[in-house]
Every structure is written in structure tokens, then in C-alpha cells.
């Protein structure tokens, strides 16, 4: 059994999964199978007896990623590994140790930081709008993840915030912290700070954590903040059984404290570190990767991705007259793809800012193409899905006189599922797509599935945030698209002021915008289309500097012309 978990891995993946002791750094490019390596490495450690599952902690940044990791480990026969987000792991330790240390229950968690800030502002007779309060909340989060006090932050950033002068900003933060203390509450960042503080000040707590967890893996290590890194150091103590996995080219959360230097300088920090580079990409064809490689050439930590897929069509760049023409042109291209038999779930339209989604949604709906904006309600929180799950569970207690799939179809039809979908672009179509997704899950279920086992599986998937995709085209910001993939990607708005965005003025900020573009490009498996509009409103635009950096050697220029329908609308 010792090599079971290494089967099916390529040479570099196998190397990364085989090194079970000491500091290990896996530089994993987009689409190179990093989650596969992480889970197979843990499984290999368990199979060989090097790891006890209950003493392994695998940390990542989203509940969805942690749920996927747990699911993959279960499929490999490994149960009991603590696969969690930083916050979930820290909160579990706080809830367990706080009563022992403080002889009291742990504080509750603030459910709405902006609302609490508003109450603190009212107490100071400050009249601030919601947008300003959100900016103050972001400032607080940034301060805490970089481990600065209010005074240190004021010294480092003395410019204040909008119309809130520095002195008032300091007073508001102090009032916010005082209000939290009075209510015995912690905010999201306090959870990490309190856990780190407890480990630093309580030797018996530190000893208990060190005894419990012996082996650590951190996914997306390029996104780790100074606070998270400090907590990781405290969990580790003087041990070095630590595996960091990440890609500096996908650092897109600097605004949230992400610092890629921890990944880039890993080999300097740990002299005996074993570093493995994963550059064989299993997602995208060579033409797509050529665009990605050109964009990142010469950047710190950039990997040279090599395709394992057969060659596909050359990526295109299209220039349109204006934003409406771009939206209509992209919608026409998407409609042509679906008409040719492409599954809508395999198509995505990506953009820099949320505001860009509205004209795209309208243009797609005008062509009868259903679309879903990523980042809306989670699948299992959609009212029609919750209603369907309740109805299916209710039906499962009665004898079933037909096949399992037919029973599911009957229940969903009673709730409004029809054979033909309503027109795209409305709430009725959204509800239909949600119910249709439930039916597809039933149709894909293993032989022998019952209504009861089906609803149990859906409940487990909801807990792990293992969400099915609805049969719609996906619209998403570049931030939301990270970690996902589609066969066909349309990346819009590659113009100066949109990507890079207008407020990216420093070298570091523009570099982050470049990494965002890289993330969008590497989501594409088969086809990639980039586009931009020459005018927006009454302003003329220039093509993004990233298009110039990529060059015409890897992109095929195609004239984007508005359809007659789009011209007549304008």
C-alpha cells in the first residue's frame, strides 16, 4: 500500500508527494495539479505510517477549498485529517482553550463589522455613509492582518481616509474596539490575533497544540498574510514538518494582506528546504499557455508552463467600437458556441469589476443565453434548491413505486420544473435552472441510489460547499474566478483604466493587475478570446499595456464589429 497514493502522478508530482519530512516548498503553476499533490502526499504519509491522520493539519483560505480537500482525502481512504481554513482552525482552538485559560466562555463573533462601526460612529456623533464605513472596515482589516496597532497604522498611513481625517479615524477605531470589548465580541481578524496571543502567552496551550498537530500543509501560500504566517509559526514551534504550496504569479489579494515573499523566500528561510517546481499544465492547451507565459515573463517567481493537452486554436484579441458593441459581440460569440453544442457550463465571461456584468447579462439574455453571476447566492442557499431538498426528503419517507430518477423528476415537476426552460434573463429562468441542476444530479447518481441516500449526499455536499454548476454560462470577476476552469473563456475589458484598473498607479499595483490578467487567461482550457472597447461613455480608451506585452506572436487580432441590432439599440 505504500505506493498506492503515488500512482498516476507525473515525475514532479511524485517527487513532491514522496518527500514527507522537513520543510517542503511546492511551486505549483496554474493547472498543474496542486490539490492532487497535496492530498496524495498526505495519503502517502498515512499509508507509509509516517503520518497519523489526526495529527495532520492542512490549511487553506476558503471553506470550499477545505471541503474539496476533505472530499479528495476521503476518496483516497483517509479520514480524520484537519483540513480547514486558517480562521476555522483558529476558532476551534479558541473555543476549546478559552474556557480553560479564562475560566469563561469564548467571546462571540461580530456578524457585521460595518454595522458595529456605524454604532461606534454614532456614539462619536460622526455621520458617515455606508461606503465610508466599508472603507474604514477594510482599513481595520488591513491593519490587523499586518499586525499593526492603531497608532502604528496611523504613523504608517497618515493620510486619513477620504473626508475622515486621521485623528477622527483613530478615534473611530478606538471606539469600535471599545464597543467590541464591552459586548465581549471578536471580529474576523481578532480570531487569528487572539489565537496567536493565546499560543504565545500560554505555554500549556502551545504544548497541547504541538502535541496534537505534527505535520502541516498550507495551500495558496502566496496569499498568506503576516498575521497568518505568525500563527503558522506558532503552530509549528521548533519543528519543520511543513509543506508550503503556491504560485507567486497568482498573488491577487495584496489588498487583504497577502505577501508572496513568504513563498518566494522559502528556500532562504529554510536552508534545507526541498523545492519542487510543477510546470506541466493539465488544463490548457499550448496556445493559451503561450499567452500566459508571455504576460508573466521575467516576473519574480514566474513558472514556465508546459501543456499536456493537444494544440487548439490561437487565442484571439478583438477590438470593439464601444462597451455595448463589446457586450453584444461577446454574447454573439457565446451564443454561437452554445448553438454548436458547447455545454454552457464550460463557458465563462470574465472581467475586472462587478459593474461590467450588467451589460453582459443583458446582451446574453437578448440572445436567449442563460447566465449566472458567480459570487451570488450559493447553490444550496437558493430558495428553489432548499425547497426541492425539503420536498425530496419528505418524499423519501413514503414507498417509491417508480424509479429513483423518475421520483425526483415528479417531485421537482410538482414544484414548477417544466420540460422547456422559460426565456433567459429573469427570476423564472434562474429558478428553473436551479431545479434542473437538482434533476441532473439525480441522473448522474450511482446505480442503487435512493431518495434518502440522495438527500443525505446533497446535505453532505452543502456542508462541504461542493456545489454543482447550473447549466448556464458563468459571469465572474477575475478574483472570483481564481481556482476555477472552463473550456472556453472570454476575457473582456482589456483597456487602460479597466485592466489595469484606473487606480493602479504604482509599479506594485500594476503588477497585481498583471497577475489578475494571468489568472483569467489560465482559467481557459481550449479557447481564449480577449477583447476591449475603444470608447467608454464619451471617453476614448487605449488597449491594455498587457496586450502590448503579450504581443502579436501569440495572439490573433480579429476585428470586433457591432451587430446591426447593437448599432440600432445605440
Residues flagged as binding site for ATP: 28-35
First to last CA, the chain: 66
Cell output for 133: 464605513
Report the alpha-carbon distance of residue 171 to residue 201 in Å, rounded. 29
Task: Tell me how far CA of residue 562 lies from CA of 315, 321, 322, in angstroms.
Answer: 20, 7, 9
Asked if 57 and 243 touch (Cβ cutoff 8 Å), the reply is no
Task: Tell me how far CA of residue 272 lies from CA of 14, 233, 515, in angstroms.
Answer: 19, 17, 30
Q: Which of 35, 105, 100, 102 is nearest to 73 (CA)?
A: 35
Annotated binding site: 28-35
Helix/strand/coil for 526? strand
Task: Tell me how far CA of residue 385 lies from CA of 63, 197, 391, in angstroms.
Answer: 20, 42, 10
Cell output for 97: 482553550
CA dihedral for 21, 24, 28, 34, sign (positive or negative): positive
Helix/strand/coil for 478? helix
* Residues 207-237 as b or e (16 or more Cβ within 10 Å = b): ebbbeebbbbbbbbbbbbbbbbbbbbebbbe
Task: Tell me how far CA of residue 73 lies from CA of 35, 379, 464, in angstroms.
Answer: 10, 23, 13
CB atoms within 10 A of CB 540: 9
Asked if 23 and 270 touch (Cβ cutoff 8 Å), the reply is yes
Q: Would you list the DSSP string of 328-363?
A: HHHHHHHHHHHHTT--GGGEEEEESSGGGHHHHHHH
Report the alpha-carbon distance of residue 61 to residue 81 in Å, rounded. 16
Report the alpha-carbon distance of residue 308 to residue 297 in Å, rounded. 20
Q: At CA 520, angle to CA 516 and CA 523, rounded to 5?
A: 140
Amino acid at each position: 500500500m505504500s505506493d498506492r497514493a503515488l500512482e498516476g502522478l507525473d515525475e514532479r508530482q511524485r517527487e513532491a508527494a514522496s518527500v514527507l519530512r522537513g520543510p517542503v516548498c511546492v511551486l505549483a503553476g496554474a493547472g498543474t495539479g496542486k490539490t492532487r499533490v497535496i492530498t496524495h502526499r498526505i495519503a502517502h504519509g498515512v499509508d507509509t505510517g509516517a503520518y497519523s491522520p489526526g495529527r495532520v493539519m492542512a490549511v487553506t483560505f476558503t471553506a470550499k477549498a477545505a471541503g474539496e480537500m476533505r472530499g479528495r482525502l476521503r476518496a483516497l481512504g483517509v479520514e480524520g485529517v484537519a483540513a480547514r481554513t486558517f480562521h476555522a482552525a483558529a476558532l476551534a482552538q479558541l473555543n476549546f482553550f478559552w474556557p480553560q485559560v479564562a475560566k469563561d466562555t469564548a467571546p462571540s463573533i461580530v456578524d457585521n463589522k460595518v454595522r458595529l462601526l456605524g454604532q461606534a460612529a454614532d456614539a462619536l456623533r460622526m455621520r458617515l455613509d455606508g461606503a465610508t464605513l466599508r472603507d474604514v472596515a477594510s482599513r481595520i482589516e488591513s491593519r490587523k492582518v499586518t499586525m499593526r496597532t492603531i497608532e502604528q497604522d496611523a504613523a504608517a498611513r497618515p493620510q486619513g481616509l477620504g473626508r475622515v481625517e486621521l485623528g477622527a479615524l483613530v478615534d473611530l477605531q478606538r471606539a469600535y474596539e471599545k464597543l467590541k470589548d464591552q459586548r465581549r465580541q471578536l471580529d474576523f481578524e481578532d480570531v487569528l490575533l487572539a489565537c496567536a496571543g493565546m499560543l504565545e502567552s500560554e505555554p500549556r496551550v502551545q504544548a497541547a497544540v504541538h502535541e496534537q498537530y505534527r505535520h502541516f500543509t498550507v495551500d495558496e501560500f502566496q496569499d498568506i498574510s503576516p498575521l497568518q504566517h505568525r500563527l503558522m509559526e506558532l503552530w509549528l514551534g521548533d519543528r519543520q514538518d511543513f509543506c508550503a504550496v503556491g504560485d507567486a504569479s497568482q498573488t491577487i489579494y495584496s489588498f487583504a494582506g497577502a505577501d508572496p515573499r513568504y513563498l518566494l523566500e522559502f528556500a532562504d528561510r529554510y536552508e534545507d528546504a526541498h523545492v519542487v517546481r510543477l510546470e506541466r499544465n493539465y488544463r490548457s492547451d499550448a496556445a493559451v499557455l503561450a499567452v500566459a507565459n508571455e504576460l508573466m515573463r521575467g516576473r519574480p517567481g514566474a513558472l514556465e508552463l508546459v501543456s499536456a493537452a493537444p494544440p487548439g486554436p490561437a487565442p484571439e484579441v478583438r477590438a470593439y467600437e464601444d462597451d455595448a458593441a463589446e457586450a453584444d459581440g461577446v454574447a454573439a460569440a457565446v451564443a454561437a458556441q452554445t448553438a454548436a453544442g458547447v455545454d454552457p457550463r464550460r463557458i465563462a465571461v470574465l472581467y475586472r469589476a462587478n459593474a461590467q456584468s450588467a451589460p453582459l447579462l443583458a446582451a446574453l439574455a437578448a440572445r436567449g443565453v442563460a447566465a449566472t453571476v458567480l459570487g451570488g447566492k450559493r447553490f444550496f442557499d437558493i430558495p428553489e434548491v432548499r425547497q426541492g431538498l425539503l420536498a425530496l426528503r419528505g418524499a423519501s419517507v413514503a414507498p417509491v413505486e417508480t424509479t429513483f430518477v423518475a421520483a425526483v423528476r415528479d417531485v421537482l415537476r410538482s414544484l414548477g420544473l417544466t420540460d422547456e426552460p422559460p426565456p433567459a434573463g429573469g427570476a423564472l429562468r434562474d429558478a428553473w435552472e436551479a431545479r434542473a441542476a437538482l434533476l441532473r444530479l439525480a441522473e448522474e447518481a450511482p446505480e442503487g441510489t435512493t431518495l434518502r441516500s440522495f438527500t443525505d449526499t446533497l446535505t453532505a455536499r452543502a456542508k462541504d460547499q461542493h456545489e454543482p454548476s447550473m447549466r448556464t454560462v458563468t459571469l465572474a470577476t477575475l478574483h472570483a474566478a481564481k481556482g476555477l476552469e472552463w473550456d472556453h473563456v472570454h476575457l473582456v475589458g482589456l483597456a487602460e483604466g479597466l485592466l489595469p484598473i484606473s487606480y493602479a498607479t504604482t509599479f506594485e499595483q500594476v503588477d497585481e493587475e498583471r497577475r489578475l490578467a494571468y489568472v483569467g487567461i489560465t482559467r481557459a482550457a481550449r479557447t481564449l478570446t480577449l477583447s476591449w472597447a475603444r470608447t467608454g461613455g464619451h471617453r476614448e480608451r487605449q488597449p491594455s499595456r498587457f496586450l502590448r506585452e503579450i504581443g502579436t506572436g501569440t495572439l490573433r487580432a480579429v476585428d470586433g464589429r457591432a451587430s446591426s441590432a447593437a448599432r440600432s439599440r445605440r
